[in-house]
Structure 1
Amino acid sequence: MPSVDEARHAVARDRVGQVIDLALPLIATPSPNPNGDTRVVAALAADLIRTHVPGAEIELHPGSSEIVNVVARVRGAGPGRRVVFNGHLDTYPVGTLAQWSVNPAGEVRDGRLYGRGAADMKGGIAASIVAMAALAEQRAHWSGEAVLTLAGDEETMGPLGTKLLLDRVPHVSGAATIIGDAGSPMVARFGEKGFIWIDITAKGKAAHGAHVHLGMNALDRLRVALDRVSALRDLPVDMPDQVRKAIADAKAISEPLCGAGEADVLSAVTANIGVVSGGTSPNLVPSTAHAAVDIRLPVGVTAKTVLASLKQGLDLPGITWNVLRCFEPNYTSPDNELIRHCARAAADVMGMAPAVNMRVGGSDSRWFRMAGIPTVVYGPTPYNMGAPDEYADISELGIVSRVHALTAFDFLTKEASGT
């Protein structure tokens, strides 16, 4: 039998060809959300796992008549901790086919994997399946369980995917979670901002545009309300020192990848006015107007604080508003064992240490962190995510798979050795 070091080396072996072989049929199987039908792609994923992961126990868990989730489990040499890999089967819609220069159903060209879901996140799913296969081959050297969860409704942030699995399937809860969602191999993400989506409606009084004194412009009222929402950017942030330091330390690596200003965005409340509508003609005073806003919360600002500010600020004539979605910011300590294992594994695979940072966007990682489970997001760089010609770099998908396997192997063997 090989030694643990030899098994670790085997787990970290480059299997990028296998990752692409699995990703292509997943991409070729449409699962746009909306409408959110994952029945066919879930069945395909289950078959791929059954074929490529020896000894995997596979279950399908419907969340609705059309949303189907997949859970696969591999057992180690004996009792121990459980590591959960997580991904989502749904994708953004393809959009207008004429705007694509490649096949949205999957294509390999010039070192890139193209297609809807290549980066977000069927490429990441394939990477995790291959990582599970690598662990299964070396199961004599680790204790506990490795579980793969594939959710059906992440893109619409609904409760019928990861949340349902956590509520109903005991072995979906583990000691650690690894997610291959879009990011960068150079950044291990330990947390993400919270978010509050709100709708605002303004009521006024219709009149002719030449007789404004006889009406009340709903858009004028809405503009005042939106100014109040934008002022949330000035709310104080009581961020823990370890999180603030991690964001600052990651800046030199993370911002060249994700854009200048990322550290500032991670450290403040932001408000994106995404929808504004109202009026029918320039010479008519609009009687109604509407806006929808995406408010993002850094660690150190609670949803309760923001909602209290909104309640006070939007107490205006003719203004009503309601909350569409609300989630707190969440994070795993950057000093947590899982984060350290992931950073070490990435350094071993790439030959350079990654940054350890927060994530600007949302993901299903929040469900695990809300359940108290340490979670890291480590995935490929997304190119044209949600747009035509989406792709992921093939070499990055190979790195992601190796780091997932190595992180899980180290996590499951360290407990067994008592270190």
Structure 2
Amino acid sequence: MNTVNDLDLRQDVAVLTEQLMNINSVSGNEQELADKVHAALLEFDHLQVHRDGDSIVARTTLGRDRRVVLAGHLDTVPLPRTDGARGTVPAQVIDGVLYGRGATDMKGGVAVQLALAAELTEPKHDITYIFYDHEEVAASKSGLGRLARNSPQLLAADFAILLEPTNGTVEGGCNGTSRFVIRTHGTAAHSARAWMGHNAIHDASQVLRRLAEYQPQTINVEGLEFREGMNAVRITGGVAGNVIPDHCEVEVNYRFAPDKTLEQAEAVVLELFDGFDIERTDGSNGARPGLDQQIAAELISILGQEPKPKYGWTDVARFSALGVPAVNFGPGDALLAHSDDEHVPQQAIRDCLSSLRSWLG
């Protein structure tokens, strides 16, 4: 049986990734993995280690002129429901490719963080390594958000990288995200006498029609093209098979470019659904690209690839809100995240480690 401190941070980073993937850490179930990460980091004298719940921060304190954050979340989305899906736990290795939950999102990135934390005793910049819980759920539960509230000094830095999957290139900034519930109201009646009531589900068709006719924008922000999107993601209503429904709710997710604040994004949605009962239930600002920093230019030069926009929301937005320029850079294809076929080439993880080692070493 494994002991709590059985993570070998100096082994092949692809093997370390597999070891991390074999620990089920679906959101809310991060403690086992957090315990192992915490214990492993405590073995290194060059790191100061702090823990807040299931979030761990490890820092070098060498008095360098600049400090860099490398951050990644420990949790994953739930395991696939499909029988025989490869994107599950434990991991599988097939022809040099790691299959399993967290392969791209984002245990490959976390393994790179851990390998660097163990290896870089004298980096050119001071480094803060952040491993946090509850990223894949509502923003109010975020371990990174909790760290920002409880110990904001631990997040202070000149630049931050979130090791989300980017296929090995830098993705600047990120779209913001917001969720709304749009409610329609009717009058209940026996379905045999439908004329005595008013069907709230039928009224929801007007919400869906407006969504279908909506044309999402592509917006240039500091040279990067951010694609927006607005979609219905859930619909609920009705009480029984013989009752005209008196209520219906349509949940809408709006992904908006970082040229807008959360409030400006809300105004877009309120205008589109004028006349409906609507409530914003969740939301997070996006982040403008953090590519105007010299330290970012150095990383881009090492990679030799043109930076791209990050379409999905990531925690670069939290760093941006704290005044820390931040980008996404990590192994794996973001299009595979959350899929039943989630996978990452082992070599992509090694390449990511090599690039960051060259940049920081």
TM-score (norm 2): 0.86
Q: Distance in 2 between matches of 1:387 and 1:396?
A: 18
Pair 289,184 (structure 1): closer, same or farther in 2 beyond 3 Å? same
Match of 1:23 in 2: 17
Pair 97,75 (structure 1): closer, same or farther in 2 beyond 3 Å? farther
Match of 1:128 in 2: 113
CA displacement at 1:358 relative to structure 2: 1.1
Kindly indicate whether the alpha-carbon contact (under 8 Å) linking 2:86 and 2:100 is maintained by their aligned counterparts in 1: no
Kindly indicate whether the alpha-carbon contact (under 8 Å) linking 2:87 and 2:342 is maintained by their aligned counterparts in 1: no
Paired residue for 1:163, among 120, 145, 155?
A: 145
Match of 1:278 in 2: 237
Task: Note the aligned Cα RMSD (angstroms).
Answer: 2.8
Q: Report matched runs for 1:369-408 at 5 Å.
A: 369-382=320-333, 384-408=336-360
Q: Report matched runs for 1:194-209 at 5 Å.
A: 194-207=176-189
Provide Cα deviations, 1:157-194, integer angstroms capped at 9, x if missing partner.
Answer: 34441122223331321111112112211x31111111
Pair 16,295 (structure 1): closer, same or farther in 2 beyond 3 Å? farther
CA displacement at 1:273 relative to structure 2: 0.6
Match of 2:129 in 1: 148
AA in 2 matched with 1:164:
R
Provide Cα deviations, 1:348-403, integer angstroms capped at 9, x if missing partner.
Answer: xxxxx223111111111111011111111111224743233422111100111122
Kindly indicate whether the alpha-carbon contact (under 8 Å) linking 2:270 and 2:278 is maintained by their aligned counterparts in 1: no
Q: Report matched runs for 1:339-354 at 5 Å.
A: 339-346=296-303, 353-354=304-305
Match of 2:317 in 1: 366
Provide Cα deviations, 1:276-307, integer angstroms capped at 9, x if missing partner.
Answer: 23346787533221111111111333332332
Kindly indicate whether the alpha-carbon contact (under 8 Å) linking 1:16 and 1:397 is maintained by their aligned counterparts in 2: no
AA in 2 matched with 1:154:
E
CA displacement at 1:215 relative to structure 2: 2.7
Kindly indicate whether the alpha-carbon contact (under 8 Å) linking 2:109 and 2:330 is maintained by their aligned counterparts in 1: yes
Q: Distance in 2 between matches of 1:312 and 1:393?
A: 45
AA in 1 matched with 2:245:
P
Pair 310,102 (structure 1): closer, same or farther in 2 beyond 3 Å? closer
CA displacement at 1:200 relative to structure 2: 1.6
Q: Distance in 2 between matches of 1:234 and 1:362?
A: 17
Provide Cα deviations, 1:114-135, integer angstroms capped at 9, x if missing partner.
Answer: 2221211111101122223332
Match of 1:257 in 2: none
Q: Are 2:267 and 1:308 equivalent residues in the alignment?
A: yes
Provide Cα deviations, 1:36-84, integer angstroms capped at 9, x if missing partner.
Answer: 1322211101233344x5522222111xxxxx101111233x3421111
Match of 1:4 in 2: none
AA in 2 matched with 1:38:
E
Paired residue for 1:173, among 142, 145, 156?
A: 156
Match of 2:246 in 1: 287
Paired residue for 1:61, among 23, 47, 52?
A: 52
Secondary structure of 1:205's match?
coil
Secondary structure of 1:72's match?
strand
Q: How many residues were matched structurally? A: 350
Q: Distance in 2 between matches of 1:226 and 1:181?
A: 32
Which sections of structure 2, spanning at least 5 residues, go unmatched? 1-8
Q: Distance in 1 between matches of 2:254 and 2:296?
A: 27
Kindly indicate whether the alpha-carbon contact (under 8 Å) linking 1:338 and 1:375 is maintained by their aligned counterparts in 2: no
Q: Distance in 2 between matches of 1:385 and 1:40?
A: 22
Q: Distance in 1 between matches of 2:216 and 2:302?
A: 39
Match of 2:5 in 1: none
Kindly indicate whether the alpha-carbon contact (under 8 Å) linking 1:54 and 1:133 is maintained by their aligned counterparts in 2: no
Q: Percent identity?
A: 22
Q: Are 2:100 and 1:115 equivalent residues in the alignment?
A: yes
Q: Which moved more, 1:307-316 or 1:123-132?
A: 307-316
AA in 1 matched with 2:346:
I
TM-score (norm 1): 0.75
Paired residue for 1:98, among 55, 59, 83?
A: 83
Q: Report matched runs for 1:165-314 at 5 Å.
A: 165-169=147-151, 170-185=153-168, 187-207=169-189, 212-229=194-211, 233=215, 239-240=220-221, 242-243=222-223, 246-247=224-225, 266-267=226-227, 269-279=228-238, 285-314=244-273
CA displacement at 1:239 relative to structure 2: 4.2
Secondary structure of 1:392's match?
strand
Paired residue for 1:49, among 41, 46, 51?
A: 41
Q: Are 2:66 and 1:81 equivalent residues in the alignment?
A: yes
Q: Distance in 2 between matches of 1:175 and 1:197?
A: 31
Provide Cα deviations, 1:308-360, integer angstroms capped at 9, x if missing partner.
Answer: 343344343xx4221111222212343332331221122xxxxxx22311111
Pair 305,73 (structure 1): closer, same or farther in 2 beyond 3 Å? closer
